[in-house]
């Protein structure tokens, strides 16, 4: 399967082809989300948890006579997002380093809020979605992608199994990427936050972990959950766990990289 690299990847691959980033990992899921936006030419769009701005730039290309604001907590990501937007000559986009959970957005400023895996880590999801909702015009739209459950995501199951995760392990301090996996829970949160007409679309796509096993291993070792799991092991046990992980990654390697199955929801709603 030949997969084109996303715009952030072109020209950034190293000679060994081992450079990885979040946009590369999610390239196929991103295609599905982009098709679901339904952005119109004059729309004003808010991108929550925009990272280095791939989704923000894509929205800006659709809202050619509108505008897009990308917001993220990471100063490094926001700096990179601004740099990439300037390099690509995209003028109807701005970026803000702030917390979307509490930032005082102008009331009823946006037509659409989008997010690619940027809403699962809200400390108080009802308050956070209510804050974002106030930034939407009446009947404005929300379109976000969130992970389905751990058991539905091969990548998560394989990593946990390789690193020795179990129900008896201490509670993780890492944010839970599956906090919005249950439709009934999400429906309740959004209803309490002032949204209605909530729908869920099942998306199953491969995700990319690197050009080879070495790159994939380096990528996974950067996950907070992997770091926590390894930190809780002695040296010998950690070495064995990494060996299991390398073997598991190798089992998913093909000529064009290391790929895992994944499942996500595209959640849509309207401000009540």
DSSP annotation string for 207-258: EEEESSHHHHHHHHHTSHHHHHHHHTS-HHHHHHHHHHHHHHHHHTEETTEE
Task: Measure CA of the first residue to CA of the last residue in the chain; give whole Å.
Answer: 43
Cα–Cα distance for residue pair 110/100, rounded to 1 Å: 14
* CATH 3.40.50.150 for domain 22-271: yes
- Answering whether pTM is above 0.75, one says yes
Q: pLDDT of the chain along its 272 residues, tens only?
A: 233 334 433 333 333 334 468 999 999 999 999 999 999 999 999 999 999 999 999 999 999 999 999 999 999 999 999 999 999 999 999 999 999 999 999 999 999 999 999 999 999 999 999 999 999 999 999 999 999 999 999 999 999 999 985 444 445 556 799 999 999 999 999 999 999 999 999 999 999 999 999 999 999 999 988 998 999 888 999 999 999 999 999 999 998 999 999 999 999 999 99
Q: Is there a contact between 200 and 267 (Cβ–Cβ < 8 Å)?
A: yes
pLDDT value for 175: 75
DSSP letter for each residue of 177-203:
TTTT--HHHHHHHHHHTTEEEEEEEEE
Pairwise CA distance, residues 75 & 63, whole Å: 25
């Amino acid at each position: 399967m030949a997969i084109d690299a996303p715009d952030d990847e072109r020209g950034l691959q190293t000679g060994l082809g081992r450079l990885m980033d979040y946009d590369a990992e999610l390239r196929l899921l991103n295609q599905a989300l982009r098709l679901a936006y339904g952005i119109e030419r004059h729309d004003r769009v808010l991108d929550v948890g925009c990272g280095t701005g791939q989704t923000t730039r894509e929205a800006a290309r659709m809202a050619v006579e509108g505008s897009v604001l990308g917001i993220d907590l990471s100063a490094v990501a926001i700096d990179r997002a601004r740099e990439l937007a300037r390099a690509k000559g995209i003028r109807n986009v701005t970026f803000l380093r702030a917390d979307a959970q509490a930032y005082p957005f102008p009331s009823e400023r946006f037509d659409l809020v989008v997010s690619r895996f940027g809403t699962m880590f809200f400390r108080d999801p009802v308050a956070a979605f209510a804050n974002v909702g106030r930034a939407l015009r009446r009947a404005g739209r929300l379109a976000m992608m969130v992970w389905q459950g751990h058991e539905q995501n091969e990548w998560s199951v394989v990593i946990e199994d390789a690193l020795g995760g179990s129900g008896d392990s201490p509670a993780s301090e890492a944010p839970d990427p599956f906090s919005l996996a249950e439709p009934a829970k999400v429906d309740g949160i959004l209803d309490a936050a002032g949204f209605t007409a909530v729908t869920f679309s099942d998306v199953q796509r491969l995700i990319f972990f690197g050009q080879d096993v070495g790159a994939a291993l380096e990528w996974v070792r950067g996950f907070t959950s992997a770091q926590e799991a390894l930190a809780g092991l002695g040296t010998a046990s950690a070495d064995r766990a990494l060996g299991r992980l390398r073997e598991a990654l190798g089992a998913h390697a093909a000529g064009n990289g290391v790929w895992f199955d994944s499942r996500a929801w595209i959640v849509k709603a309207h401000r009540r």
